[in-house]
Structure 1
Amino acid sequence: MPHTAKLIQGSTFKHVVSMSATGAFGLMCMFLVDLVDMLFLSMLGEKEAVAAVGFASSIMFFTISLSMAVSISATALVSKAVGEGNIELAKRRAVNVLAFGIFFSTAVVWMLWPNISNVLLYIGATGRTLDLATGYLQILIIGMPAVMIGMIGSGIMRALGDARRAMYATLIGGLVNAVLDPIFIFAFGLGVQGAAIASLIARFSMVAVSYYGVVYIHKMLGEFDLMDFFKDAMSISVIAIPAMLTNLSSPLANAIVMEHTSTFGDDAVAAVAIIGRIIPVVFGGLFALSGAVGPILGQNYGAGRFDRMHSTISSAVIYAFAYCVILCVGLYQAQDWLVSVFNATEGSAELIRFFATFVSFSFFFQSLLFIAIAVFNNLGKPLNSTLLNFGRATLGTWPLIIIFSLFMGAEGVLLGQAIGSVIFGCLGFYMARNYIAELEEKEAEAILPSHSHSYNEIL
């Protein structure tokens, strides 16, 4: 298959929509499985089971965020090389990022597995909820290297502009999980552990699909060479490590929210756990925005097309606004149905309705932050993404949820987090626009002296 930089031509809005839609569909399938897990477990009539998966998800989001960070590194490095027309460099970077991800994820599993119960205890899980959450995570965490491989493979294919095949890995994984969930939970009577086993098998199915796309369809993996790996390790780390810190801030914010919510009882924890499953399914199109915008920016940066880079982020804002208006209205209309489907208690139902009515609209501003993160991760300033996301997770979360919960109870936790997203979304987008303008100015200054020199030589 020819490796052309297809994202440096054609409508930027069309690229944003197609890349986001396919990315969103894949992500939503993956998160939909978590939603189905919650739905099936709620049918057991045991609120501790639902709360346990809520606590466990905070930790799983941490491991998935690490995998996404290395995938960001793959997308940024490969897309820039493709934009420059250097396909051999793109292949070398692809195989070395994959090796980096395997080594790193294996080390994380080795360190985290023995300490799962202590981590869950720290974020507020107790009693039977703690036991169920521990058993769930001890099974699921083993699949982290598989998630890492699947996400890196998808990142490589997105870097090539092949959003459709990048979607297949998460799509197949989601389908496998959805089929196996009721079998392991109900037919085998394994409950929470059955949900974990089904998810583990699904994660390994992602590996086969992504490997097929990268190796057999695109032929994008060069031969692994240890010396080349050491050469690329620094370039990978410069993007991956700040991106990891950036992504870690989201589970940090979720852990802060879950820990503070636990002071309001299991009903509040169960509500936040249900909301946590609803959010990725409803707003998956926004979560995919950063991964969609990144390859477009990377290829055009490699080709020196700053006009298309400005157009790309403008197109992303238009897409995000239209998406939020449609989905937030739909979520508002569906709130009673969601309460019924999840068999929510009266206390949980109040929080779900509050989120659907007042809080959901803040996700447009969070999408501005996603766009800013894509700009900084793919254009050489990943540390800015880290600072912005950690600012949102700490200054934009902790003080606000404490203040608002004093006056509003558990609802104040949700509102405080939403206000933090509005503040940091606007700040991040302003910084990103200015940064692209700075890069363009530097490029113009670098070209101008060389042109003047050539003109003087002619004279």
Structure 2
Amino acid sequence: MAASTDLGKDNIKQLLFKMSVPAAAGMMVMVIYQMADTFFIGRWVGTLGLAGISVVSPLILMIQSIGMSVGMGGAALISSALGGKNRQKANEVLGNQVIIAVGLTIIAVGIGFFFERELLLFFGANGDIYPYAESYFNIILWGMPFLTWSMVVNNAVRSEGHAKTAMFAMVVPSVCNIILDPIFIIGLDMGMEGAAYATLISYFIGFFFLVIFFLRGKTHLSLASKYLKYQQKIVNEILALGSASFARQAASSVIAIILNHILFEHGGEVSVAVYGVVSRLFLLATFPIIGLGQGLLTICSFNYGAGKYQRVKDTVTNGIKYGVIVNSIIVVLVFFFDEELTSLFTKDQQLIQESIPAMWGVMAALPIITIGITASMFAQALAKARDALLLTLLRQLFFRIPFVYIFSHFWGVTGTWVSFFFSDLVSIAFAAVYLKRELKKLSKKISISDE
């Protein structure tokens, strides 16, 4: 239970490795299980199945964003409270996270069932895609409250310094999903429904894994009923800090809606399926920087709360350096094995050939995306909710959407993929300016504290 105190003492480089690698490993396994869904559906259900997944994924992501935003917003508060040795505040934050995340998710699930057809059509279930999307969505929706609860508690566990436990909380259900996919999809010949049931069961398993962790008492945090009391002030803090994470996830869903409709208009079901493949590969390529960002947020929040500003600055500068190096290597590997990667999901040669240039456009700016993610996580860590939200919206909405519309209007499907690269360049330039300014402010705090 003393794991959290290491956040203020360990060597920064070692600490980044210690906190980020388990987070990245957990993300990697989660991505692999999403890719497993895509792999088995692509090969045993077909192109329309891939298109169905492409439509449902952003809709599910929208609901998941509740758990992600509440989880990461509260994690920053918990780390800061623990850094200031205020365990009571940390537990109150966790209790309010659980209340609002589960409550909002249940409402979202109800809306999902009641307006199912309208939502699926809005998200791009056009033509023959609809029945495939519907069969998957009907089942997966039942597991959302368990998933958002797990996302909240997992972030809380990581914020205390239990990085390995947080990793296993993602790995265990993901491995179960990978095992169950071929059993349900191929062995029981259940197609899209089989993939959905495999995922649903994995959500339950992830939930029970974290329940058992808390019952064993190996944490300073508590889910006791005395902490499950709604406090408006704490809820406001959680939602404010979590707004950037929510915007990040919700914006991805908005982009997916737009892309599904634009791609269907210019290229039909195949182009929608291409987006399903490329989005999975992008998740695979970005899991290291997402893990690094989560580790960075935890370390910065704790040390900022403890008044150790030099450690905060060192964490940011080292995080950017390592992120750029790792992402550069990933881009080279992805481009070198582009055809092999896209061939994992389908035997359709048209789909493979259309996926390759799409992948190039989406991933070209990956090395410098590190700067944008670091800037947003840094703002969250320092409880600068408005800054974190703005940085997220700049990349995902303010630049991405106009660029997609403009480029697709003139160059069709090809322009759609190229727009990703240019919108990333512009938004990351803004993030770099912001980060440089904030690090100067931090340097002044360091000088004052030294005096």
Q: TM-score, normalised by structure 2?
A: 0.92
How many residues align? The count is 448
1:233 maps to what in 2? 235
**1:291-440 matches, cutoff 5 A:** 291-357=294-360, 359-438=362-441
Q: Is the 8 A contact 1:66 1:248 kept in 2?
A: no
Residue in 2 aligned with 1:202? Answer: 202
Over 3 Å counting, the alpha-carbon distance change for 1:204 and 1:390 in structure 2 is same
Distance 1:358 1:246 in 2: 20
* C-alpha distance 288-339 of structure 1, shift in aligned 2 (>3 A): same
What letter matches 2:318 in structure 1? Answer: S
More deviation, 167-176/57-66? 57-66
- 1:68 deviation in Å? 0.9
Q: Which residue of 2 aligns with 1:221?
A: 222
1:39 corresponding residue in structure 2: 39
Structure 2 residue aligned with 1:262? 264
Query: Residue type of the partner of 1:351?
Result: E
Cα distance in 2, alignment partners of residues 229 and 327 from structure 1: 44
Q: What CA distance in whole angstroms lies between the structure 2 residues aligned with 1:222 and 1:129?
A: 42
CA distance in 1, matches of 2:103, 2:33: 27
Question: How far has the Cα of 1:228 moved from its partner?
Answer: 6.1
Whole-angstrom distance in 2 between the partners of 1:97 and 1:389? 22
Q: What is the aligned partner in structure 2 of residue 79 from structure 1?
A: 79
Name structure 1 gaps, 5 residues minimum.
452-459
Relative to structure 1, is the Cα distance of residues 215 and 414 closer, same or farther in structure 2, using a 3 angstrom cutoff? farther
Change in 2 beyond 3 A, CA 1:284/1:336: same
- Larger Cα Rg: Structure 1 or Structure 2? 1
Match of 2:251 among 249, 252, 255: 249
Per-residue CA shift, 1:170-212, capped at 9, x if unaligned?
1001011011111111222210011001101101111112223
- Give, in angstroms, the shift of residue 357 of structure 1: 4.2
What corresponds to 2:293 in structure 1? 290
Question: 1:247 Cα deviation (Å)?
Answer: 2.9
- In the superposition, relative to structure 1, how do residues 145 and 48 fare at CA in structure 2: closer, same or farther (>3 Å)? same
Deviates more, 1:155-164 or 1:330-339: 330-339
Distance 1:367 1:395, change over 3 A: same
2:147 and 2:45 mapped to 1: Cα distance?
31
Deviation at 1:80, TM superposition (A): 0.2
- Seen in structure 2, the aligned counterparts of structure 1 residues 115 and 439 have a Cα distance that, compared at 3 Å, is farther
User: What is the identity, as a one-letter code, of the residue corresponding to 2:219?
Assistant: H
Instruction: For residues 312-334 of structure 1, give each alpha carbon's deviation from its aligned partner in whole angstroms, at most 9, with x where no partner exists.
Output: 11111111111112111111222
Residue 454 (structure 1) aligns with: none
Letter in 1 for 2:103: F
Instruction: Report the counterpart of residue 120 of structure 1 in structure 2.
Output: 120
Distance 1:271 1:246, change over 3 A: closer
| Segment of structure 1 superposing worse, 412-421 or 344-353 | 344-353
Report the more deviating stretch, 320-329 or 336-345: 336-345
**1:74-153 map, 5 Å:** 74-153=74-153
Name 1:456's counterpart in structure 2: none
Give me the TM-score of the superposition, normalised by structure 1.
0.91
Q: Residues 304 and 272 from structure 1, CA distance in 2 versus in 1: closer, same or farther, beyond 3 angstroms?
A: same
Q: Deviations along 1:142-167, whole A, 9 cap, x unmatched?
A: 21111112111211121112211111
**Counterpart of 1:169 in structure 2: which amino acid?**
A
Structure 2 unaligned residues grouped into runs of 5+: none
Percent identity between matched residues is: 22
For 1:99 and 1:338, how far apart are their aligned partners in 2? 41
